[in-house]
A and B are shown apart, each in its own frame.
Chain A
Amino acid sequence: MTEITKQTLSDLVENIKKKKVSSTEVTKAFIERSKKSKKLNTYITENFNAALDKAKKFDEKPNLDLKLPGIPIAVKDLFCTKNVRTTAGSKILNNFIPTYESTVTKNIWNEGGILLGKLNCDEFAMGSSNETSFFGNVQNPISQNLVPGGSSGGSASALAAQLTPVTIGTDTGGSIRQPASFTGTVGLKPTYGSCSRYGIVAFASSLDQAGPMSQNVKDCALLYEVISSYDKKDSTSIDFKRNNYSQKLTKDIKGKKIGVPKEYRVDNMPKEIDELWQKGIKCIKNCGAEIIEISLPHTSYALPTYYIVAPAEASSNLARYDGVKYGFRAEGKNLIEMYEKTRSEGFGEEVQRRIMIGTYVLSSGYYDAYYLKAQKVRKLIKNDFDEAYKKVDAILTPSTPSSAFKIGEKNNDPVSMYLNDIFTVPVNLAGLPGISIPAGHDSQGYPLGLQIIGKSFDEQNIINIAYSMEEKIEFKNNIKDWWIG
């Protein structure tokens, strides 16, 4: 049997079911490796002892009909976990211990998953490099001083370094797909309304979605079918027929029509990204699908729209952090001063910047010019996709405009950091599902990803396309253990 931490989720599930290995052995193996990973800084809160107890209990009375039988899983620290600290990467929630469980994590535990720990992320999921976290940078295991992407940077790094067999992240503008691309892993942003937002620390409620991150497409399908559910506790959760995605996996995508949007060939796109895209197009053709050139004319307006809509919703969502009900409180002479000091000391720079943008675009006299305008352009962006889907079944694009960059490289220029999400943001604005799969390397050996965008609720289709491409691409992640200590 292969070394435990090198196995995929599907292998681990099979081996536990066949009693070749116990949950305790698996959990121990991931804990041991995680303990040696301090240099990566992926964990904000470790749950190792409790995880071992749970694994032992599972082994005493194993329920092998479950989908994740005794599998240890570390999750992004944006999911509320009952009695386990949940920080959202922020000082303001540094001491917050939820008294309830998010629906998505509850779904995982109900299928036999065991919480291994809480993973680092950009503060309130606002960032593309994991550098805005109050708990410090995360290293990408691919190379020293390289960002893992963000905001689900800790999740991506822990997954790529095999500290957890799979993980979950959240994606508001690319926060699952971009870090997956930067670390050579698979990440799925489901259709808006597919995974419940209940118990996820809110950033931009009309865009936020939870999703699976994994070593391969099959694992992604399995974890996705566990976490997606209709939930009355989330008023935007949608009651549609959910598949057993992993069982309905097929590599047969013959005759599928795949769109390639010309507007994604942006100015200054590095040659290697264009080459990767061409490679993807060839691969899709080899799988028997048809490539069709399409147009998404409002693509270049997606980022400016996003940077109105997301901060506006964030400024409203983050109004709850006032130093009264939970979290950090600074002292003040009176109530207002207490609020202002709490928020100015409790939130980091990027979060304050976005609250300010959001407050401004919603403020009296500017609402129509910014917020309403952005909602109208958002409609145009959605119309573009609706129009394209009359001709194609899915869309193929690069996941990111570049490979992972160095820690500190883009810190001083918010706009250049925002440009990272140029290919992922339109998908959130239109509420569509998108999956990023590793598809190649740049000249430095850093991974690059391709994104497949689907129609609403058509996850099975994009997962199948990804599954078919994965086999042909034969991507290998060359991660050395330089960070082990």
Chain B
Amino acid sequence: MTIDLKTIKHIAKLSRISVNDTKAEKLADDLNAIFKFIEKLNELKTEKIKPLTSVAETPLKLRTDEVKSENIREDIIKNSPEDNQDYFVVPKVIE
């Protein structure tokens, strides 16, 4: 199986990464080499195997739903590239 440029551009769109044609070609080459290497897994029959989602054998712990943090509004907004009062600012989305 090979990954073509159309697929690369589709994945790039899903990844929210902009790619031009040159970059797409390079990525296609790289990904094809990597997937050729990954195809090795097809040698194994795995129909009856249960997938491993976590190596921790203990179940995830539940905790009570309590508010613990103080008022950290300023901390949250502090690193934003652009903010206005208590809001993150993004390019206009509604005309």
Contacts and interface: CB of A to CB of B under 8 A. Distances in A.
A156 B36 CA distance: 32
Q: Most chain-A CB neighbours within 10 Å: which of B7, B38, B43, B56?
A: B38
B75 interface: yes
B31 interface: yes
Q: What's the dominant secondary structure at chain B's contact region?
A: loop
Interface in A325-371: 325-329, 332-341, 343-344, 347, 352-353, 355-357, 359-360, 363, 370
Interface residues of B, number: 50
A247 interface: no
A192 B56 contact: yes
A324 B45 CA distance: 44
A80 to B, nearest CB: 11
Given A325-B79, A327-B81, A375 B52 contact: yes
A206 B55 contact: yes
A378 B44 CA distance: 12
Nearest to B62: A235
B41 A305 contact: yes
A353 B16 CA distance: 13
B80 A324 contact: yes
Contacts of A116: none
A301 interface: yes
A193 B80 contact: no
Contacts of B61: 235
B27 A356 contact: yes
Interface in B45-95: 46, 49-56, 58, 60-61, 63, 72, 75-76, 78-82, 88, 90-93
Given A352-B15, A357-B31, 13 more contacts: A96-B79, A99-B78, A301-B41, A324-B90, A325-B88, A337-B18, A353-B30, A356-B11, A360-B7, A370-B38, A377-B49, A413-B33, A415-B37
15 contacts: A99-B75, A303-B37, A324-B80, A324-B88, A325-B80, A340-B17, A356-B8, A356-B15, A363-B11, A374-B41, A376-B52, A377-B49, A380-B49, A414-B34, A415-B34
